Amino acid sequence: MIFSEELVQWYLNNKRDLPWRNTTDAYIIWLSEIILQQTRVEQGMPYFYRFAEKYPTVSDFAAADEDDILKLWQGLGYYSRGRNMLKTARLVAEHYNGVFPQQYNQLIKLKGIGEYTASAISSFSANEAKAVVDGNVYRVLARYFGIDEPINSPKGKKDFQILANGLLNHDHPGLHNQAMMEFGAMLCKPKNPACGICPVRTDCFAFKNNATTSLPVKLKTIKVRERFFNYFLIINNNEILLNKRDEKDIWANMYDLPLIETSELTLIDELLALPQIKDYFGESIEIQNISPVYKHILTHQRLHVRFIKLQAPEVKLQQNWFFSRLENLEKFALPKIIFIFIEIFLTCRIIHVESNLCQE
């Protein structure tokens, strides 16, 4: 039995029952593919259900406000995915009469859809003969065929795509792609792959040469940027001071707290001596508490985040600053670390937590 047939047989016997596998609706498949990018199935599943329920068609999605999309996306990370989805939905509603395209050549032109996603949607919805190559497929191919070319090098991407194209079952491309991806996700895992029950291990280079930990190879090209965020929590008369972020940085168009970013971790006395403090909060400020410094890891950035609770009766509202009633906070899409902090702080009114930001 050839490699593809072995994996398909394994898949039919072991696949997970996932909702997007029970449809050929390109819109539903698109929802699942974008939500699951950089996200584990267990984490992404609740989001998939929320989006599919609130926006059952692409036209419903297209009619949504960006704030609503980002709020529903809150906690999932990589928020540009949500913004790009809204742009795509609106393009589909306008140019495709609300019918989500199924063909690769149309899909590849849409915002946020690359070669992998276009191949996945077209093969799963229309059985188009396009080989899918995602992280799971890279890993399976690298280990089975013993390929040490880095998967993120230009040559590596080209070589793996050519290999995947050659292996593709043109009679059942969607089934073949699902099998390859599921095999990598469930059995040929990044760590502790289940080689003992692998149906193709006898011909697998990595199994025969004890190389599962060294394959696939990936170039380390990401330079992590260190950033230091000093957030100010100000609540006056049961209203919290919020900031709407712009489109030029992380968390674009989401909401956070007033922020002063510094080039390094700054002593509180030095921070309060900055001219922005007086410009923003006036003369009569009182520090009520200071949190520990929390680390928040993004793909290319490491944030060092500190929260400072201020009593500031003379706040001078800056552009994009505004006060909101505490009970209206649920309407705003907040970055995860801000959402968790505010939630803890509000809970602190009743119980004491490690952050030491509670006021009795």
What amino acid positions are annotated as catalytic residues? Answer: 33
In Å, the largest CA–CA distance within the chain is 79
Q: Cis link prior to 193 (omega < 30° from 0)?
A: no
Rounded to an integer, what distance in angstroms lies between the CA atom of residue 149 and that of residue 251? 34
Residue 255's closest CA among 354, 322, 156? 322
The amino acid occupying position 40 is R
Q: Which two tokens stand for residue 49?
A: 């259900």
Q: What stretches of the chain show up as alpha helix (H) in DSSP? A: 3-14, 26-35, 41-54, 58-62, 66-73, 80-95, 104-107, 115-126, 135-145, 154-167, 173-186, 205-208, 268-272, 275-281, 336-347
Q: Cis link prior to 216 (omega < 30° from 0)?
A: yes
Rounded to an integer, what distance in angstroms lies between the CA atom of residue 41 and that of residue 185? 10
Rounded to an integer, what distance in angstroms lies between the CA atom of residue 41 and that of residue 15? 13
Q: Which two tokens stand for residue 170?
A: 């043109």
For the chain, the C-alpha Rg in angstroms (whole number) is 25
Q: What residues pair up with 243 in beta bridges, in sequence order?
A: 256, 321
The amino acid occupying position 268 is I
